Amino acid sequence: MRVPAWTAAGWTRHAATAAGLTALSVVAYLLLKGVQGDRGQVVLLVVVWAIALTGLNLITGLGGYPSLAHVSFFGGGAYLSAYLLGKGLPMALCALLAVGGTMLAGLVVALVFSRTRGQYFAIGTMFFTAVTNLVLTNAADVTGGPNGRPVDLGFSLDTTLVLLAASLGLSLGAFYALSRSRFGDRLRAIREDEDLAQHVGVPTARVMLIAMVVSSAFGAWAGVLFAQYNGVIAPSQFTFVQGFLMLVAIGLGGGGRLLAPLVGSAVVIGFTQLIKLGPGVSQIVLGVLFILVTLLVPNGILGGITALRRRPRPTAPDVPAPAPARAKEVAS
Amino acid sequence: MIQVLVNGVFLGCLFAVVAVGLTLVYGVMEVPNFAHAGVIVLAAYTTWSVSHAGAPFAVAALAGIACGGLVSVLTEVLAYRWIITRPAAAPAVALGLLLILQNVALRLYGGEGRSLDTPYDTVLLKAGSVSLPGVKAALIVLAVLSLVALHLLLSRTSLGRAMRAVAQDREAAAMLGIPMRRQYSLAFLIAGLLGGVAAVAYGPTFQVSPYMADDVLLSAFVVVVLGGLGSVWGAVAGGLVLGVVEGLGAAYVSAAYQSAFGFLILVLILVLRPGGLRSTNARRVA
């Protein structure tokens, strides 16, 4: 249920969220600026992934469709901006064209696959990512082949950091607005029961199409920033395993919840980058963790926390009764 | 030209064996079994390590096939069984299993490719200008044999009849007293054994590595879509069609983009014939 925007409670809620996200951006900037070396790389990856995953959270979290194509949009933004920058265009234009071009690709993918249901959608988007990766690896004159290509410096490092931190807050804010709009409600309706949604007049295919195009924009912009910070990009950063890990991050965080991209990417990046368990082991742990969360806590970490907080505590009888059940989405 | 077609048939048999395993599982349990690639990888590594330890190739092959069946049943018992009431979670769980199985292989055997030697490595069948290496011929023979065996099982035995009943209507089958859990395990067992056959048969033509089955799996999924999810004979026909198309594409357009032709076909089917070439009761498009 939505908080009506025109009530005082609604505005307080929106203002609190805006303040929280602004604070998050500031913290992100300080961390990006202050943390050096390997850990700095981890902070960067978490921020970049959180921006990209905000888009995935629309389609997978709200809409319930497991998209494995998101990593291709991420890679598309990175490669397109690097290619255009190599042609000598100004950076702002490159970024714009890269995001626009990727959205166009997203539109084509969405036109084909937005009509397909769950399993077929997963198979189709997975294949799309595999083919994108094949192109990145083989079209060596444009993409630099399997070893990747360098990226010219378009933004100064400090501009990139500011943009990263600001984009984190802004994209989460955009998600907040979208998820509380009619569009968000329609996506949720599709997730709950697509047949019923269609029956009551939700144009399901069109909503999915728009969600996919919008989500590709988030992915592409994150890719542009990632390429600028990293300075070199390679196909191995955009494989379908990465695409699947993005899905894992959303599932672990709690699909459809505002902070799921941040929590999910922190867990996934933390597991793969910080904890050195030897090759493969961290991914095995992630796989087991992901299956357990899917089986036991379908709403992810954030959903689990919310459920725990809301549970009445029978052991302490004189605790005042919990507040009347509030709307599920509000508490996230 | 004929050489290209023969190569296409080879690919097609490979796709068919993998795709039949996928479609059987989907028909019975409605799970897109991405973990099948992991099963194939582990079966191939088992074959490699047994034959590397000095056992004759036939023993190693049987060990690999058995390993495929075992791992496949394990995925069902440990994971898929628990989401039978929530089909929406199936793709996520399947991909999680794939991640686990591939990384187990990576952990146990390392990332570098291993080559699997067979007694028929050096055989080369020739008919006019067309040549067929023994490895590929063995794959075609194995594929045909195992598919015929599967056909006999499905059409002539009571087990097969029960499995077809489950695929047609799960609730009605359960009401008639068919033990569902046994059917699930059986479907995964057969799929795993077929995966093992695929691993033993095509391991020698490629290298054995943790990611050897990714491309094959994707192509096999295209085959399954082509034939209609849940349709065994659709998968066989689709496998041959896709194998020939990919073979032609690789020969006349670009070998590097071989699996992209499969994707092209997938897109074309979804746009033009949303019901699949052969319609089944499995629904895929809104």
Closest CA to A208 of A124, A111, A140, A302: A111
Say yes or no for a CB contact (<8 Å) between A247 and B30.
no
Instruction: Please state the domain extents for chain B.
Output: 20-213
Closest CA to B155 of B220, B65, B233: B233
By Cβ distance, the residue of B79, B95, B104 closest to A244 is B95
**What is the pLDDT of chain A when averaged over all its residues?**
84
Q: How far apart are CA B203 and CA B117, in angstroms?
A: 9
Distances (CA, A) of A149 to A86, A136, B47, B139: 10, 10, 39, 40
- Which residues of chain A are within 8 Å of residue B284 when distances are taken between CB atoms? 116-117, 119-120
- Count of CB atoms within 10 A of residue B269's CB? 18
| Contact status of A285 with chain B (Cβ, < 8 Å) | no
- Residue B276 clears pLDDT 70, i.e. is over it: no
Say yes or no for a CB contact (<8 Å) between B256 and A138.
yes
Q: How far apart are CA B195 and CA B220, in angstroms?
A: 11
**What is the pLDDT of chain B when averaged over all its residues?**
82
Closest CA to A256 of A63, A110, A52: A63
DSSP bridge pairs for B285: A116
Phi, psi (5° rounding) for residue B109? -120, -5
Choosing among A127, A135, A193, which should be mutated to test the B contact, i.e. which has the most B CBs within 10 A? Answer: A127
Q: Cβ distance B269 to B276 under 8 Å?
A: yes
Per-residue confidence (pLDDT) for residue A327, from 0 to 100: 44
- Count of CB atoms within 10 A of residue B49's CB? 18
Choosing among A294, A296, A297, which should be mutated to test the B contact, i.e. which has the most B CBs within 10 A? Answer: A294
Nearest-Cα distance to chain A for B25, in Å, is 13
Identify each DSSP E strand in chain A by its residue range: 149-150, 232-233
Per-residue confidence (pLDDT) for residue B282, from 0 to 100: 42
Phi, psi (5° rounding) for residue B118? -125, 160
Token pair of B164 as six digits: 């077809």
Q: How far apart are CA B170 and CA A254, in angstroms?
A: 31
Nearest-Cα distance to chain B for A145, in Å, is 12
Q: How far apart are CA A70 and CA A58, in angstroms?
A: 11
Closest CA to B255 of A320, A190, A138, A182: A138
Please give the biggest Cα pair distance in chain A. Answer: 72
By Cβ distance, the residue of B30, B100, B106 closest to A288 is B100
Residue A321 — pLDDT band, cuts 50, 70, 90?
very low
Interface of B with A in 139-198 (CB under 8 A): none
Interface of B with A in 56-85 (CB under 8 A): 79, 82-83
- Mean pLDDT in residue range B210-236: 80
- Nearest C-alpha in B relative to A293: B93
pTM of the model: 0.83
| Contact status of A203 with chain B (Cβ, < 8 Å) | no
DSSP bridge pairs for A116: B285
By Cβ distance, the residue of A112, A204, A294 closest to B93 is A294
- Nearest C-alpha in A relative to B263: A127
By Cβ distance, the residue of A194, A240, A294 closest to B89 is A294
Rounded percentage of chain A residues whose pLDDT exceeds 70: 90
Per-residue confidence (pLDDT) for residue B134, from 0 to 100: 77
Q: How far apart are CA B170 and CA A242, in angstroms?
A: 35
- Which residues of chain B are within 8 Å of residue A70 when distances are taken between CB atoms? none
Per-residue confidence (pLDDT) for residue B283, from 0 to 100: 38
- Count of CB atoms within 10 A of residue A206's CB? 12
| CA gyration radius, chain A | 20
Q: Which amino acid is at B247?
A: G
By Cβ distance, the residue of B106, B271, B283 closest to A112 is B271
Token pair of B133 as six digits: 């290496």
Non-local CB neighbours of A307 within 8 Å, separated by 6+ positions: A299
Say yes or no for a CB contact (<8 Å) between A298 and B99.
no
- Residue A208 clears pLDDT 60, i.e. is over it: yes
Residue A225 — pLDDT band, cuts 50, 70, 90?
very high
Distances (CA, A) of A255 to A22, A57, A198: 22, 6, 22
Q: How far apart are CA B39 and CA B71, in angstroms?
A: 6
By Cβ distance, the residue of B100, B111, B221 closest to A284 is B100
- Which residues of chain B are within 8 Å of residue A118 when distances are taken between CB atoms? 87-88, 90-91
- Residue A105 clears pLDDT 80, i.e. is over it: yes
First to last CA, chain B: 40
Q: With helix as H, strand as E and coil as C, how does B38-63 read?
A: HHHHHHHHHHHHHHHCCCCHHHHHHH
Tell me which of A40 and B69 has the higher pLDDT. Answer: B69
- Mean pLDDT in residue range B77-99: 84
Per-residue confidence (pLDDT) for residue A51, from 0 to 100: 94
Q: How far apart are CA A289 and CA A295, in angstroms?
A: 10
| Contact status of B229 with chain A (Cβ, < 8 Å) | yes
Choosing among B29, B31, B81, B103, which should be mutated to test the A contact, i.e. which has the most A CBs within 10 A? Answer: B103
Q: pLDDT by residue (tens digit) across B91-101?
A: 888 888 988 99
Say yes or no for a CB contact (<8 Å) between B103 and A128.
no
Nearest-Cα distance to chain B for A119, in Å, is 6
Say yes or no for a CB contact (<8 Å) between B221 and A127.
yes
Say yes or no for a CB contact (<8 Å) between A138 and B257.
yes
- Residue B130 clears pLDDT 80, i.e. is over it: no
Give the CATH architecture of domain B20-213. Orthogonal Bundle (1.10)
Phi, psi (5° rounding) for residue A262? -70, -50
Q: Which of A285-299, B107-121, B162-176 has the lowest mean pLDDT?
A: B107-121
Q: How far apart are CA B217 and CA B15, in angstroms?
A: 8
Per-residue confidence (pLDDT) for residue A205, from 0 to 100: 85
Nearest-Cα distance to chain B for A171, in Å, is 25
By Cβ distance, the residue of B92, B95, B286 closest to A194 is B286
Distances (CA, A) of B52 to A204, B60, B117: 55, 9, 9
Tell me which of B1 and B284 has the higher pLDDT. Answer: B1
| Contact status of B205 with chain A (Cβ, < 8 Å) | no
Distances (CA, A) of A238 to A96, A244, A250, B112: 21, 10, 17, 21
Tell me which of A268 and A310 has the higher pLDDT. Answer: A268
Residue A312 — pLDDT band, cuts 50, 70, 90?
low
Q: pLDDT by residue (tens digit) across A175-205?
A: 999 999 999 999 999 888 888 888 888 888 8
- Mean pLDDT in residue range A231-239: 88
Interface of A with B in 83-112 (CB under 8 A): 112
Q: pLDDT by residue (tens digit) across A121-159?
A: 888 888 889 889 888 888 888 888 888 888 888 888 888
| Contact status of B121 with chain A (Cβ, < 8 Å) | no
Q: Cβ distance A68 to A126 under 8 Å?
A: yes
| Contact status of B275 with chain A (Cβ, < 8 Å) | no
Q: At what angle do helices B57-78 and B36-52 cross, to 10 degrees?
A: 150
- Residue A259 clears pLDDT 70, i.e. is over it: yes
- Nearest C-alpha in A relative to B221: A123
- Which residues of chain B are within 8 Å of residue A202 when distances are taken between CB atoms? none
- Nearest C-alpha in A relative to B214: A130
